[in-house]
């Protein structure tokens, strides 16, 4: 068997039914190309790795990395790409929503040196997004893409795509700088590369999922915003802080929404109390899932952590109100600036103290 020139990285979580069809499709479209597929599975409860490994026992083109105790689409893609020694690497979703027939075309473009990275795009002429997403998912995806475009060095129509190919050496070079969090590995790569990569987009139609279900949720959304913040700040602020602060903004939105919904029934003070408890609980849950996913609290420690978190945030609010009041009283700031200073102090306080007390 020839050494592969192309490694196709297939991130998977609970995709057991899609593994064999994926192998068959890759074999059909990559006929004549020495290729391999690397399935990267995060120890899916449905036994995706077992299926991939059983196929691999009599097919040398198939490999499987089984990661234990970790979750994450981006980091799975990075690990898969770094496990390759082929000249080119591609990433494709394991749920058959991407059009694998594009792979040989992508390879040609790279071999001719026409681009540094080739992206399967739903948003260039001939591409189609609506087929694979519900209307609401599409709105979120479009909004995210708009936001991401503001940060990109050159225009890319579909920066949210999870389907692309590039030279492995490019990934090896960028890997230490990649954020590796969340769903958006392509965006991570595009925002990290300096000088910017030459991008070629090829149209494809996003297919509906046939088996299994999507893993996109609030967690993914927060991680996306954290990624943008991390890149925008040049990586100087710790990821944990950015994640904590992003969740803080979510918390504020939750707080205001609760306030608006209950103020007529409960009056201002009552509504304010209820909104605070709900927002703090939501923040605690999100931080436990995202910011501190690696040291996540469970069981009894979870409840203990929640109570501590209420206390820490309570002091934070008192400090916020106090500082803002002082600045205002001494005429050092107008109410907007005083409020912002108080809020900033609260986030820093909440973050610093909960990092040492709650998630030790």
State which residue, 132 or 180, has the beta carbon closest to Mn ion.
132
Tell me whether residue 3 or residue 150 sits nearer to ligand GDD (CB atom): 150
62: left (phi over 0), alpha (psi -120 to 50) or beta: beta
127 binds, among ligand GDD, Mn ion, none (CB under 5 to 8 A by kind): none
- The minimum distance between CB 97 and Mn ion, in angstroms, equals 4
Residues lying near ligand GDD in the complex (CB under 6 A) are found at 11-13, 15, 40-42, 71-73, 76, 93-95, 97, 160-163, 183, 206, 214-216
Measure the CA–CA gap between 34 and 10, rounded to whole angstroms. Answer: 17
Of the pair 98, 255, the CB lying nearest ligand GDD is at 98
Considering the rule CB under 5 A, would residue 141 count as an interface residue with Mn ion?
Answer: no
Instruction: Give the separation between CA 258 and CA 248, rounded to whole angstroms.
Output: 15
For ligand GDD, the closer CB: 51 or 324: 51
Q: Count the Cβ atoms, other than its own, within 10 Å of residue 299.
A: 7
Q: 351 to each of 9, 49, 302, 314, 347, how far by Cα in Å? A: 36, 37, 17, 13, 6
39, 52 Cβ separation under 8 angstroms: yes
Pick one of ligand GDD, Mn ion, none as the site partner of residue 11 (Cβ within 5 to 8 A by kind).
ligand GDD
How far apart are CB 61 and ligand GDD at their closest, in Å?
19
- Among all residues, whose Cβ is closest to ligand GDD? 162
180 vs 251, beta carbon nearer ligand GDD: 180
CA distances from 160 to 48, 145, 176, 185, 347 (A): 25, 6, 21, 8, 29
Burial of 171 (0-12, 13-18, 19+ CB in 10 A): buried
Q: Which does 171 bind (CB under 5 to 8 A by kind): ligand GDD, Mn ion, none?
A: none
Residues 78-107 interacting with Mn ion (rule: CB under 5 A):
95, 97
User: Binding partner of residue 87 among Mn ion, ligand GDD, none, CB under 5 to 8 Å per kind?
Assistant: none
């Amino acid at each position: 068997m020839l050494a592969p020139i192309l490694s196709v990285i297939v991130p998977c979580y609970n995709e057991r039914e899609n593994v064999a069809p994926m192998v068959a499709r890759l074999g059909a479209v990559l006929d004549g190309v020495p290729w391999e597929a690397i399935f990267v599975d995060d120890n899916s409860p449905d036994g995706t790795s077992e299926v991939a490994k059983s196929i691999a026992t009599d097919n040398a083109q198939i490999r499987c990395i089984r990661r234990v105790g970790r979750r994450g689409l981006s980091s799975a893609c990075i690990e898969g790409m770094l496990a390759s020694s082929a000249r080119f690497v591609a990433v494709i979703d394991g749920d058959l929503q991407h059009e694998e027939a594009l792979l040989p075309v992508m390879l040609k473009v790279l071999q001719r040196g026409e681009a540094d990275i080739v992206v399967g795009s739903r948003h260039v002429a001939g591409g189609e997004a609506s087929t694979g997403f519900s209307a609401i998912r599409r709105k979120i995806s479009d909004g995210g893409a708009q936001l991401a475009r503001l940060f990109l060095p050159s225009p890319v129509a579909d920066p949210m795509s999870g389907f692309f190919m590039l030279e492995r050496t490019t990934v090896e070079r960028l890997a230490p700088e990649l954020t590796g969090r969340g769903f958006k590995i392509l965006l991570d790569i595009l925002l990290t590369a300096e000088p910017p990569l030459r991008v070629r987009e090829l149209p494809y139609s996003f297919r509906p999922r046939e088996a299994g279900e999507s893993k996109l949720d609030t967690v993914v959304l927060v991680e996306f915003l954290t990624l943008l913040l991390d890149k925008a700040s040049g990586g100087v602020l710790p990821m944990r802080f950015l994640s904590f602060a992003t969740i803080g903004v979510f918390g504020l939105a939750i707080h205001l929404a609760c306030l608006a919904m209950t103020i007529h029934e409960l009056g201002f003070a009552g509504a304010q109390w209820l909104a605070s408890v709900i927002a703090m609980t939501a923040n605690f849950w999100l931080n436990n899932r995202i910011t501190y996913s690696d040291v996540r609290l469970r069981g009894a420690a979870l409840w203990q952590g929640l109570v501590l978190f209420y206390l820490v945030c309570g002091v934070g609010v008192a400090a916020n109100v106090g500082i803002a009041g002082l600045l205002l009283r001494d005429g050092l700031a107008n109410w907007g600036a005083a409020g912002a200073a108080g809020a900033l102090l609260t986030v820093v306080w909440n973050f610093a103290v909960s990092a040492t007390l709650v998630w030790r």
